Chain A
Amino acid sequence: MSGLVLTPVRATFRAVAETVVPETATLDADGWREMHDLVEGALSSRPESVRRQLVTFLRLVEYLPVARHFHRFSRLAPASRTEVLSRLERSGRLVLRRGMWGVRTLVFLGYYTRPAVQEALGYRAHRDGWSTRRAPAGPDIVAIDTDGGARGS
């Protein structure tokens, strides 16, 4: 599955990802593969038109800076990349803001759904809930009076 949609814009996507989530710059090859697979997995269920729009938008991101910065996006310094993406995010054109929102959402999906990252953030939700943190106290159920009030039981 890896590379199905992002292959023609892989360098741009990686540069965008490193700008959106700076921690991705430290990912090793396995980390990038995992991230790409997650993004490709999410894209696989989206309509073909959405996938085409994504690739078109990433191509736009790649070449947009040439006029102002004389370099393609993926060859810019981090500060310049941030400037380019900020301008897109604040653009007066909805289509550009939407594009930026969609790409950043994909980057977040690829990065923040990974179990290792969630653990590193300190996210500890567990199916056993309170029993993993402390012993819950005894039951103290408060039933709803179907006439409108509440009553303890």
Chain B
Amino acid sequence: MLTHDYDVVVIGSGAGGGTVAQELAPMVAQGVRILVLEQGARLEDDEFTGGELEMSAALYEDGGGFLTADGTMTLAFGRAYGGSTVVYTGTSLVAPDRVIREWCVSGLEFPDIERRSRKFMVQNDVHFLPRVLLNENNKLFVAGCARVGAKAEQFPLNLRGCKGSSLCNLGCPNAAKMGTHRVQLPNAERAGVEVVTRAEALRLEERAVVVRVHEKKDGEKGLPSGWAPGEHRITARMIVSCGGSIGTSALLLRSPVTKGIPRLGERFTCHPAHILVAEHDRPITNDVGHPKSYYVDRAEHEGYVLETCMYFPFVTAKNLTGFGRDHSTFMRAFPRLQMILVLACDKAVSGNRITVDAAGRPVVHYTFTPEVIRSMVSATRMSARIFFAAGARRVHAPSADPPLIEREQAYRLDDLVVEKHFTPGRLSISAAHMMGGCAMGAEGSAVTDSRGRVYGMPWLRVADSSLFPDSVEVNPYLTVMALADRVAEGVREDWRA
């Protein structure tokens, strides 16, 4: 096994790891050696083709089809230089004041999260998309919302030079999305931080991490790793784990030195989501333009958020309930389809947690609570009203049976879309906002303090969405960056001390 020695090792290069790397980078000038380890590959710009299957395989864990333990939900998270910031849509919202207060983490205040979030909004060029570039998929959502009295708000987006490819979730082919792979990681590398890709963290040891560097396979996208294939042991004075909710939790759970930490793997939430689809009488612009420009926030009182979205043919087919002639007919209407993503703001409950199997692989246990089901059904009814108000001919509602609802039946939505038809295993449910597992809080009831310091392990920090003690109820990346900024600040202070 090859050995290396660094001062700080950052595991993961997404919103958390990229931010920590950038914020610690000035220490390199003082002689501090910093290394970032990333499990995925670093793709060259011309490798972002927008091809549905090839990009999913190249950028997502399990091609985006990671299943929960009972197989009723797929979890999509990135595995590449830049982590999930390569594959999100760039929506940039500050965590609500109410949510931070409800988290009730001593030492964590909303003004601090807000200040740090806004710092990264500026750095990531966050702005509202020019209205002239909005597609009809989004405009119809706004029009439908206005007619049913729902308040549609525009998403601030971290884009620079967006051409409207609509391919954000497959990695922007125009380098327009300001993820950590475009902003924070290059900044860190320019300052002397080293990044090693294709490096899978196998286990933590006392002030050390063992990784397996994978060889680039034939036909695989991305650059080879800068390190030789095989196992490497890296010692460090400080290790910051930023592998995401599932990655960090699993790493700590399979490492003998950390697996006994109380509450590890608990408080998992993920904003379970449905993709709802409606058919219009005429073609609309849906597969061109930024896909996710507006949202309706009903999180506080009704437990859901609606977002515009547009997915690719396979993902769309998978998310339509059923099969056969009706399904195919709907798919053939692709140029006439409008889509809304329904997200439930789930709460941390016992039982919904991350564990590892005998081989150390992550296993996510998740049961849909009655509250989540109620929220998703309620959100589906509201989405159907918005679709019909926007002129849709029929709506595909997963919590209806049969799922296709014609315009003439719109007045019966409360009878047709009901909780008894929410059947896990029959309808498609997915999530892309994995949170919790290494929650912040008081010692004994949480894994870390409000600065990501793992209790009892002064050499180990966490800086990713696993810190969230409950769901954040908005797209989480900006909050992850704000928390990672706090963690990096703590590392710098401790280093000086």
Contacts and interface: CB of A to CB of B under 8 A. Distances in A.
B53 interface: yes
A108 B317 contact: yes
Given A108-B317, A136-B164, A123 B156 contact: no
Contacts of A121: 313, 331-332, 334-335
A122 B324 contact: no
Interface stretch (A5-13, A58-66, A67-75, A111-119): A111-119
Contacts of A105: 65, 318
B187 interface: no
Contact of A146 (B51, B118, B167, B322): B118
B63 A45 contact: yes
A142 interface: yes
Nearest to B321: A89
With most chain A CB atoms within 10 A of its CB, the pick from B72, B162, B164, B313 is B313
B47 to A, nearest CB: 12
Interface in B302-333: 312-314, 316-318, 322-325, 327-328, 331-332
Nearest to B166: A125
Contacts of B72: 94, 98
B133 A127 contact: no
Interface in B395-423: 423
- Count class of interface residues, chain B: 35 or more
Given A94-B70, A125-B288, A140 B163 contact: no
Contact of B323 (A42, A104, A139): A104
Contacts of B316: 112
Given A23-B328, A121-B334, A130 B127 contact: no
A77 interface: no
A142 B129 CA distance: 7
Contacts of B334: 121-123
A118 B332 CA distance: 10
Nearest to A97: B425
Interface residues of A, number: 53
A130 B425 contact: no
B1 interface: no
Interface in A118-153: 118, 121-133, 136-137, 139-144, 146, 150
A109 B319 CA distance: 12
Contact of B287 (A90, A125, A146): A125
With most chain B CB atoms within 10 A of its CB, the pick from A102, A122, A136 is A122
B426 interface: yes
B280 to A, nearest CB: 13
Given A112-B331, A121-B334, A139-B130, A38 B53 contact: yes
Given A123-B312, A140-B132, A113 B287 contact: no
B183 to A, nearest CB: 16
A146 B313 CA distance: 37
B174 to A, nearest CB: 6
A27 interface: no
A117 B328 contact: no
Nearest to B331: A121
Given A22-B325, A23-B328, A130 B314 contact: no
A76 interface: no
A144 B324 contact: no
B122 interface: yes
Contacts of A54: none
B324 A22 contact: yes
Nearest to B74: A105
Contact of B314 (A109, A137, A141): A109
B165 A126 contact: yes
Contacts of A97: 423-426
Interface of B: 48-53, 57, 62-63, 65, 70-72, 118, 121-122, 126-133, 154, 156, 162-167, 173-174, 283, 285, 287-289, 312-314, 316-318, 322-325, 327-328, 331-332, 334-335, 423-426, 428
28 contacts: A22-B328, A82-B324, A85-B323, A89-B322, A94-B72, A98-B72, A104-B318, A108-B314, A109-B318, A112-B314, A113-B52, A117-B313, A121-B331, A124-B287, A127-B163, A127-B165, A127-B173, A129-B165, A129-B289, A130-B163, A130-B164, A130-B288, A140-B133, A143-B127, A143-B128, A146-B121, A146-B122, A150-B156
Given A38-B53, A122-B335, A142-B127, 5 more contacts: A46-B62, A94-B425, A112-B331, A115-B51, A129-B163
Q: Please provide the 6 A-B residue pairs with the shortest distance between their CB atoms, ordered closest to farther.
A: A129-B164, A97-B425, A140-B130, A127-B173, A129-B163, A142-B128
